[in-house]
């Protein structure tokens, strides 16, 4: 450990699994060998410093090159079986020097015995009994997988289609992980990434002119089938099948005019083909990246789905990424295929998955962690706006819900526990680098960082990798002088280094958190912990803390608040989800807020930091605002009401909520007009972690969680 620390080692330890980046003084290669050969030799000879890596348990996946720098990626295997989520990536220059190792491999001693596994028939039976609203599409395994508790499981992975009545969005494909030992469901995740001739370029808002352009790389004279792209349309509104409505005229052209709203609009196929071909070419010519899947570089895109969103994923289960573009078919709705931002965004999701394979969501001691999903969304947004040069994403498709690359988001205080919102931190980081080192240079740096990360990366890991890769590319002459310092300044300003998912609220600060809906997760769980916790620090002079909870948008269901003192609320895995196990007490049934003061029971503890975690029981995603009022040294002769009126004569106006979600059909946002101290009613469901009632605490209909002691 000391040797590593002397070499600027940065550790990311979660329970028994180490997700680690080693940033150290370069080590010389021995002899003339390939980067792949040297990587294996280096790890084998350096096991005492960098962990034991048996070469027989590392399977080479791919190598990406920038100048003479190689990014060599290995998958961990054990007894010939993949360990999903366990990878190691080495950054090696042309002189055989190792500059960075990103490692999420696991000690083989922790891997379960593969000889104990129930039959596939029994696993299938138990899965179907656990959720009647699914259709099994395929199954793979058994394999090892690193899941939410960071301890590997031996599982079968079922691809299922969730009944629309349960999940809502069409094409609700999920992967469900079934434990081989007992048939229990230990994990699940959505497969489709959501976002949100004659063509629009990039969209009708930026340029309303319909352009007549050449459609390059076509290999068909009748349909939109090329070497880099192929375009289809949904056969019906639910996209049960695909067709090609766009056919060439007698001159071999595809000169369709836009028709909107329409789910049989051939113009959508043409513009979709054009932009997939364009970004596929751009990645190769500008960044040297080519994606080959199934022996081809061709990417399929499907348009005309009657659903206001877009997806990226392996829709037809051929192992290759597909893009599905929907539309809002209402009289005032927009076709997302008309907006190149959306197509570029979804294409980049495929790039992310091909290179790093971001996991998207996992669980740890703070609840659910959406960090790797946020990096995925951040990359997808960044390379979309990099293509157009316009920092606003979704001018047309997302209408009033556009996202902005030129933002001021920081980690952790801008976190909201939703990957699209939180991804803006990483988008903004890379956009800042454009202004510091140049547009193309930032694009190259971003892809270098992506190639150096594992599937379980977070903002902390990404920030450190940004600095390491910028320094390396600067020394290689790929980036201009000062790039390393610029990367460090940017990562520091954005709060990436050491970022933890805890938002600090001081007096009059407001935070927001997305509370995910159980139905949107396929109905596998009855409640979902939020992706962020909140900390409210007090001083020895603090006399009162008032927290106000306001639901900004929501449907059926409720939320619970968990409170702890001087330490975050602690979570551990129970079955397929994390549950709170370390906390002081709870408030249930969507409380309006809570007050700590000298007259409450328990009374305020000056100098204490209060931690809050939220659990969603909503069917569909809700947005919760949390505002803190921290009151210092109120004169004792003033009445409680007079003091509060003096400090908060008028509630600060609720800021416009940044609802840059890719979902367009969100409920209206409700705002309260003025702040009132919560009233107290009789309550029932408040208890401590050990099940005992907390004296004086009451569950409110519209008030705080504490009663005035009489």
CA distance 93 to 97: 5
Name the 3-class secondary structure at 218: strand
Distances (CA, A) of 360 to 374, 402, 527: 7, 22, 19
Residues 6+ apart with CB under 8 A from 481: 474
Average pLDDT, the chain: 82
Instruction: Specify whether 124 is located in the same domain as 183.
Output: yes
Q: What is the mean pLDDT of residues 345-369?
A: 93
Nearest to 678 by CA among 694, 693, 696, 698: 698
175: domain CATH number is 3.10.450
Q: How many domains does the chain have?
A: 5
Summarised one tens digit per residue, pLDDT across range 521-541 is 878 889 999 999 999 999 999
pLDDT band per the 50, 70, 90 thresholds, residue 3: very low
Q: What is the pLDDT of residues 208-258, one digit of tens each?
A: 888 888 898 998 989 999 999 999 999 988 788 899 999 998 888 999 999
Cβ neighbours, 10 Å, residue 528: 25
- How confident is the model at residue 160, as a pLDDT? 85
* pLDDT at 207 > cutoff 60: yes
Residue 646 lies in a domain: yes
Assign residue 446 the CATH number of its domain: 1.10.390
Q: Do 504 and 611 touch, CB atoms closer than 8 A?
A: no
d(CA 319, CA 640) in angstroms, rounded, equals 64
348 Ramachandran zone, left/alpha/beta (phi>0; psi -120 to 50): alpha
**Does residue 347 lie in a domain region?**
no
651 and 522 belong to one structural domain: yes
Angle at 435 between CA 406 and CA 381, to 5 degrees: 40
Q: Does 9 score more than 50 pLDDT?
A: no
- What average pLDDT score do residues 662-667 get? 35
- Predicted local confidence at residue 29, as pLDDT: 43
Q: Do 572 and 676 fall within a single domain? A: yes
Q: Are residues 518 and 637 in the same domain?
A: yes
Taking only the tens place, the pLDDT of each residue in 118-144 is: 888 898 888 888 876 788 888 988 889
Q: Is the pLDDT of residue 441 over 70?
A: yes
In a domain, 259, yes or no: yes
* CATH code (residue 65): 3.30.310.160
**Pick from 375, 370, 381, 369: nearest CA to 356:** 375
Residues 6+ apart with CB under 8 A from 202: 339, 340, 341, 387, 388, 390
The torsion angles phi and psi of 644, rounded to 5 degrees, stand at: -65, -40
Q: 525: which residues sit within 8 A by CB, 6+ positions away?
A: 518, 576, 577
3-state per-residue secondary structure call for 339-402: CHHHHHHHHHHHHHHHHCCCCCCEEECCEEECHHHHHHHHHHHHHHHHHHCCCEECCCCCHHHC
- Give residues with Cβ within 8 angstroms of 119, minimum separation 6: none
**51-76 burial, b for 16+ CB within 10 Å, e for fewer?**
bebeeebbeeeebbebeebbbbbbbb
Residue 394 CA to residue 658 CA, distance in Å, equals 14
Helix (H) or strand (E) holding 492: helix 483-493
So what's the pLDDT on residue 190?
75
Does 8 score more than 60 pLDDT? no
Tell whether 53 and 65 lie within a shared domain. Answer: yes
Regarding whether 616 and 669 lie in a shared domain, the answer is yes
pLDDT at 320: 87
In a domain, 346, yes or no: no
Same structural domain for residues 124 and 72?
A: no
Predicted pLDDT of residue 20: 45
365 lies in the same domain as 326: no
Residue where a domain terminates, one of 303, 334, 365: 334
Could you tell me if 167 and 209 lie in one domain? no
CATH number, domain of 515, equals 2.60.120.380
| Range 446-482 burial, b when 16+ CB lie within 10 A, else e | bbbbbbbbbbbbbbbbbbbbbbbbbbbbbbeebbeee
Residues of the chain by 3-state class (helix, strand, coil), percent to 5: 25, 30, 45
What is the predicted pLDDT for the residue at 501?
Answer: 98
In a domain, 43, yes or no: yes
Q: How confident is the model at residue 555 (pLDDT cuts 50, 70, 90)?
A: confident
> Mean pLDDT across the stretch 491-495?
99
Mean pLDDT check: name the lowest of 440-454, 522-536, 676-690. Answer: 676-690
- Going by their DSSP bridges, the two strands 81-92 and 69-78 should be labelled as antiparallel
- C-alpha 38/C-alpha 33 separation (Å) is 6
Owning domain of residue 578: 501-710
Task: Summarize pLDDT for 378-411 with one digit per residue, the tens.
Answer: 999 999 999 999 999 988 887 778 899 999 999 9
Whether the pLDDT of residue 708 is over 70: the answer is: no
- Is 427 in the same domain as 395? yes
Residue 474 sits in the same domain as residue 433: yes
- Name the band, by pLDDT with cuts 50, 70 and 90, for residue 545: very high
Answer with the one of 153, 172, 191 that is the final residue of a domain.
191
């Amino acid at each position: 450990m000391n040797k590593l620390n002397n070499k600027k080692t940065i550790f990311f330890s979660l329970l028994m699994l180490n997700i680690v980046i080693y940033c150290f003084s370069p080590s010389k290669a021995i002899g003339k060998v390939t980067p792949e050969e040297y990587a294996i030799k280096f790890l084998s000879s350096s096991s005492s410093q960098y962990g034991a890596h048996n070469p027989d348990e590392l399977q080479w996946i791919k190598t990406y090159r920038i100048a003479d720098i190689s990014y060599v990626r290995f998958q961990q295997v054990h007894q010939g079986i993949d360990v999903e989520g366990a990878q190691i990536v080495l950054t090696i220059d042309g002189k055989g020097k190792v500059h960075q190792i990103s490692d999420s491999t696991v000690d083989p001693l922790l891997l379960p015995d593969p000889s104990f596994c129930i039959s596939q028939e029994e696993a299938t039976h138990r899965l179907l009994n656990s959720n009647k609203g699914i259709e099994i599409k395929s199954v793979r395994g058994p394999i090892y997988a690193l899941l939410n508790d960071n301890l590997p499981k031996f599982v079968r992975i079922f691809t299922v289609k969730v009944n629309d009545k349960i999940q809502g969005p069409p094409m609700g494909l999920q992967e469900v992980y079934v434990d081989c030992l007992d048939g229990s469901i230990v994990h699940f995740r959505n497969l489709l990434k959501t976002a949100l001739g004659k063509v629009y370029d990039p969209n009708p808002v930026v340029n309303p002119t319909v352009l007549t352009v050449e459609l390059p790389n076509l290999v068909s004279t009748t349909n939109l089938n090329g070497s880099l792209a192929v375009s289809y349309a949904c056969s019906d509104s639910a996209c049960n099948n695909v067709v090609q409505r766009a056919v060439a005229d007698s001159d071999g052209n595809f000169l369709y005019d836009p028709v909107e709203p329409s789910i049989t609009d051939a113009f959508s196929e043409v513009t979709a083909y054009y932009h997939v071909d364009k970004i596929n070419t751009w990645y190769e010519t500008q960044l040297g990246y080519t994606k080959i899947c199934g022996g081809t570089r061709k990417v399929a895109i499907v348009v005309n789905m009657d659903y206001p969103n877009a997806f990226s994923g392996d829709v037809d289960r051929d192992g290759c990424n597909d893009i599905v573009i929907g539309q809002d078919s209402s009289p005032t709705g927009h076709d997302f295929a008309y907006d190149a931002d959306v197509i570029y965004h979804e294409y980049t999701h495929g790039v992310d998955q091909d290179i790093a394979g971001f996991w998207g969501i996992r669980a740890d001691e703070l609840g659910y962690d959406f960090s790797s999903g946020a990096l995925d969304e951040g990359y997808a947004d960044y390379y979309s706006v990099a293509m157009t040069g316009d920092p606003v994403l979704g001018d047309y498709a997302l209408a009033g819900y556009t996202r902005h690359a030129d933002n001021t988001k920081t980690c952790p205080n801008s976190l909201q526990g939703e990957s699209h919102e939180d991804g803006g931190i990483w988008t903004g980081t890379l956009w800042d680098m454009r202004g510091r080192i140049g547009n193309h240079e930032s694009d190259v740096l971003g892809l270098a960082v992506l190639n150096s990360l594992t599937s379980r990366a977070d903002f902390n890991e990404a920030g450190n990798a940004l600095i390491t890769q910028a320094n390396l590319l600067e020394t290689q002459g790929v980036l201009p002088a000062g790039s390393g310092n610029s990367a460090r300044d940017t990562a520091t300003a954005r709060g990436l280094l050491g970022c933890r998912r805890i938002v600090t609220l001081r007096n009059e600060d407001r935070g927001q958190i997305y509370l995910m809906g159980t139905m949107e997760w396929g109905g596998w769980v009855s409640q979902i912990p939020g992706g962020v916790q909140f900390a409210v620090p007090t001083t020895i002079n603090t006399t009162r803390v008032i927290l106000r909870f306001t639901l900004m948008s929501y449907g059926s269901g409720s939320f619970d608040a968990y409170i702890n003192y001087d330490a975050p609320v602690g979570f551990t895995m129970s079955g397929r989800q994390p549950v709170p196990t370390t906390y002081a007490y709870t408030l249930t049934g969507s409380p309006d807020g809570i007050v700590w003061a000298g007259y409450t029971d328990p009374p305020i503890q000056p100098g204490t930091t209060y931690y809050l975690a939220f659990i969603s029981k909503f069917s569909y995603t809700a947005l919760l605002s949390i505002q803190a009022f921290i009151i210092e040294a109120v004169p004792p002769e003033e009445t409680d009401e007079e003091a509060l009126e003096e400090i908060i004569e008028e509630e600060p106006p609720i800021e416009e909520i940044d609802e840059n979600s890719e979902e367009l059909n969100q409920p209206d946002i409700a705002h309260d007009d003025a702040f009132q101290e919560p009233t107290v009613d009789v309550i029932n469901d408040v208890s401590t972690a050990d099940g005992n009632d907390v004296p004086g605490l009451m569950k409110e209909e519209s008030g705080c969680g504490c009663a005035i002691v009489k």
